[in-house]
Chain A
Amino acid sequence: MGVAAETVSGWSRRRPLTWRRVGAASVPYLLVAPVVAVLGAILGYPIYSLVRLSFEKYGLFELIRHAGVDIGLANYRSVLHDTVFWHTLLRTVVFTVANVGLTIVLGTLLALLLVRVSGWVRLLLTAGLVLVWSMPQVVAVQVWYWMTNVQNGVVNYVLSELHLGNFFQHNWYATPFSQLAMVTTLIVWGALPFVAITLYAALSQVPRELVEAAEMDGARGWRVFKDVTLPIITPVLLILTSLSILWDFGVFTQPYLLIGQAHVNPSNYLMAIYLFEQGWFASDFGRGAAISLLMLVIVAALSVVYVRRMVRIGDEPA
């Protein structure tokens, strides 16, 4: 690559404005073209269809005839005037902050633990994390459901046996808060392995000398972490945070299956469930498309801060 680049720049210095130079300049674009074409086909077209759908009245009647009716911005207006949408958005933002916060904090603590423990304990811990990671979401939901089952759940049994109170036939899904709290435990549990293992890898890049030097200067525990370790792992933390925001904001499988279709209602909707209920269940696909595009914009807005910082760090000279 280096040789080729040199040759190219050599030519361009001697003979400016020839077809060769134009050809050489287009090489990067040609190289990126296949990716752009594939992305355009598998992502661009569906998104184009989604945008078009969001401007149409497209219900069951239209679905069977494969033809919608253009209604302009009516779908967007109806969503933005729906108080359920705004309540759901607020709930989802709080839910996302709680989930991402818990995931990152607990993940960091686990990663720090991984650095400190002996070799075989680390192996055991990592194996456990990988097992958690490899568990399909639907299976995890079922296991959670069994464990927290009101009739014979092991959680109620264990808590009662430990004399932590009377948990006999305690219903863990009685209120919207408790429903979403149970979903949070499931999501954070499932997200921890990726965060912990990635952060462990990042922590192994922290030069030992720096930590030792800081300790020589009298810094301890939290201070060392805050002033030495944290700045070095920040890029990784930013990537993990922005990915977690994307995942948690649009989460569907865990809340829908764990709370259960019979119990999702406007008092516990998250955005993806609101979209599913309003778009699919009510067979109002045009409105569903409008909701999903609004979600897309919101997620982009939520993550723009992190992505900007990420790019800035990438631009800094090493």
Chain B
Amino acid sequence: MRSRALVATLAVVALGVVAATANAGANRAQANKLTVWLQVDAQSGWPDVVAAANQQFQQQNPGWTVDVQYQNWGDHLQKFDATLAGGTTPDVIEMGNTEMTKYMAAGAFADLTSNKSKFENSGTWLSGLAKSGQYQGKVYGVPYYAGSRVVTYRTDLFKKAGITKAPTSLEQFMADAQKVAAANKGVKGFTPVYLAGTDWYSALSFVYDFGGSIATTHAGKWQGALGSKASVAGLNAFKQFFSSTAPASAATLDEAHPAPYDVFSQGRAAAIFGPGWYSCCVGTKYKSVTAQFVMPSHVDGQPMPGFLGGSDLAVPAPSKSQAQAIQWIADFTSTTSEKALQAKGNIPNATNLLGTSVNERAAARSWFVPAAKHWVDVENGNILRNMLAQILTGKLSVQQAASSASDNIASVLNQP
């Protein structure tokens, strides 16, 4: 009896395991096919630039095809891990600049140091972005593009509220927002600014604006810095900004659900704070009355330091078409390509290409995440998002939430 019950239990459990074991489809490598993983940003924002690079590559390599597979930020690393395990990696992969260090440290990418000169403008790459693709003096990542964060706003609504020029200080921005709110009282669900509460890229800008930071190194160890006086002052300013200008219902939302530009295009917000390319999707109705300004600092006349987001392109070490991969990256990051990316509101990868757009002016003051091997685990563990939700919902005081997140971050970063 007992043994039968055990066998039956095991059989039922086994069935459950079989049912739960989903198998990800493998990427079979094919002769003369270059597999490229780009993020969906390229698919929605600049498919023409991708197509042009593919065309150029195919002219240089007759008989080759390029298979561009678009990935999502949320799960592309898990998929990449699976291909590393199976030896079926893509030949080129786009990596977020915050994701590079962990993979470079593990030896996941081919060393591109000797090929650096093949990439146009490699002598003048944006230093912040170039650094994210380098590890122990070697080049593993080619800067693709950077993006700063700006305020995208409705000129008509600002004018209607009697505001004639962009605010130059945080205080003025908040006062302007009040005027816009007052002028649009009748619009249901309207807030002057739409901001997702757990959008840590935006929130941490306030921290850096007040002289705070996420973590610092001290004698080879990471120390959390969010609980510091300056950081807490920044978080307090963020809380105040959020509660006086943004919808309370967004306190626990993230910046992808819903996309801020969707809220904007539905006429429910006069301003959104986020990447410069948000202007792409404000809706045809408001296209002509949409403009951007640099997010102002609490110090009058200065820009608020923005998160310098960006992407690198890397060649996974197991790729069997590394020479072609390098050539494709060279095509995709050529001056022509980068100029086209710039025209879409991105920051090109080299200083000699920089213009004077609002996006590029905002990049004058920027901040970046700690260059730690385990930083990506802090991001994926949603430590910062959790802290912001606790702060904005009032579940914990700013100091409590910040100190606890700070300890958490230090312990993750100091893992072996």
Stretch of A191-199, A206-214, A297-305 lying at the B interface:
A297-305
Q: Specify the main secondary structure of chain B where it touches its partner.
A: helix
A300, B189: Cα distance in complex, Å: 50
> Which listed residue, B17, B102, B377, touches A296 by the CB 8 Å rule?
B17
Quick check: B9 and A60 within 8 Å, CB to CB? no
Quick check: A169 and B247 within 8 Å, CB to CB? yes
Residues of A contacting B1 in the complex (Cβ-Cβ under 8 angstroms): 311-312, 315
| Known contacts A260-B257, A307-B5, A310-B8; is-contact A150 B103 (Cβ 8 Å) | no
Interface presence of B12 (CB below 8 A) = yes
One digit per residue, 1 when the CB lies within 8 angstroms of any chain A CB and 0 when it does not, for chain B 1-23 equals: 10011101110111111111100
Interface presence of B393 (CB below 8 A) = yes
One digit per residue, 1 when the CB lies within 8 angstroms of any chain B CB and 0 when it does not, for chain A 170-198 equals: 11011000000000000000000000000
Residues of B contacting A261 in the complex (Cβ-Cβ under 8 angstroms): 74-75, 380
Query: What distance in Å separates the Cβ of B95 from its nearest Cβ neighbour in chain A?
Result: 13
Stretch of A15-23, A107-115, A274-282 lying at the B interface:
A274-282
Quick check: B14 and A39 within 8 Å, CB to CB? yes
Query: What distance in Å separates the Cβ of B324 from its nearest Cβ neighbour in chain A?
Result: 21
Contact residues on B (Cβ < 8 Å of other chain), bracket: 35 or more
A47, B10: Cα distance in complex, Å: 13
Q: Specify the main secondary structure of chain A where it touches its partner.
A: helix
Query: What distance in Å separates the Cβ of B238 from its nearest Cβ neighbour in chain A?
Result: 18
Quick check: A168 and B189 within 8 Å, CB to CB? yes
One digit per residue, 1 when the CB lies within 8 angstroms of any chain A CB and 0 when it does not, for chain B 367-392 equals: 00000000001001111011000000
> Which listed residue, B9, B254, B256, touches A307 by the CB 8 Å rule?
B9
Query: What distance in Å separates the Cβ of B207 from its nearest Cβ neighbour in chain A?
Result: 19
Interface presence of A45 (CB below 8 A) = no
A98, B380: Cα distance in complex, Å: 29
Chain B residue nearest to A174 in the complex (CB): B252
Quick check: B252 and A171 within 8 Å, CB to CB? yes
Residues of B contacting A246 in the complex (Cβ-Cβ under 8 angstroms): 12-13, 15-16
Interface presence of B219 (CB below 8 A) = no
| Known contacts A169-B249, A246-B16, A312-B1; is-contact A60 B106 (Cβ 8 Å) | yes
Quick check: B266 and A151 within 8 Å, CB to CB? yes
Contact residues on A (Cβ < 8 Å of other chain), bracket: 35 or more
Interface presence of B174 (CB below 8 A) = no
| Known contacts A43-B18, A304-B9; is-contact A64 B84 (Cβ 8 Å) | yes
Interface presence of B253 (CB below 8 A) = yes
> Which listed residue, B16, B17, B188, B382, touches A265 by the CB 8 Å rule?
B382
Interface presence of A61 (CB below 8 A) = yes
Quick check: B249 and A170 within 8 Å, CB to CB? yes
Residues of B contacting A264 in the complex (Cβ-Cβ under 8 angstroms): 382
Interface presence of A63 (CB below 8 A) = yes
A42, B107: Cα distance in complex, Å: 32
Interface presence of B356 (CB below 8 A) = no
Residues of A contacting B15 in the complex (Cβ-Cβ under 8 angstroms): 246
One digit per residue, 1 when the CB lies within 8 angstroms of any chain A CB and 0 when it does not, for chain B 63-82 equals: 00000000000110110010
Binding site for A on B (CB under 8 A): 1, 4-6, 8-10, 12-21, 74-75, 77-78, 81, 84-85, 102-103, 105-108, 188-189, 198, 247, 249-254, 256-258, 262-263, 266, 268, 317-318, 377, 380-383, 385-386, 393
Give 15 A-B pairs besides A61-B107, A170-B249, A307-B5 with Cβ atoms closer than 8 angstroms: A43-B14, A60-B81, A60-B102, A149-B258, A151-B262, A151-B266, A168-B189, A171-B252, A246-B15, A280-B78, A283-B102, A299-B16, A300-B9, A303-B13, A311-B4
Question: What are 13 A-B interface contacts by the 8 Å CB criterion?
Answer: A43-B18, A59-B106, A60-B106, A63-B85, A150-B250, A151-B189, A171-B251, A174-B252, A246-B12, A260-B254, A307-B9, A311-B1, A311-B8
Which 3 A-B pairs rank lowest in CB-CB distance, beginning with the nearest?
Answer: A246-B16, A60-B106, A262-B254
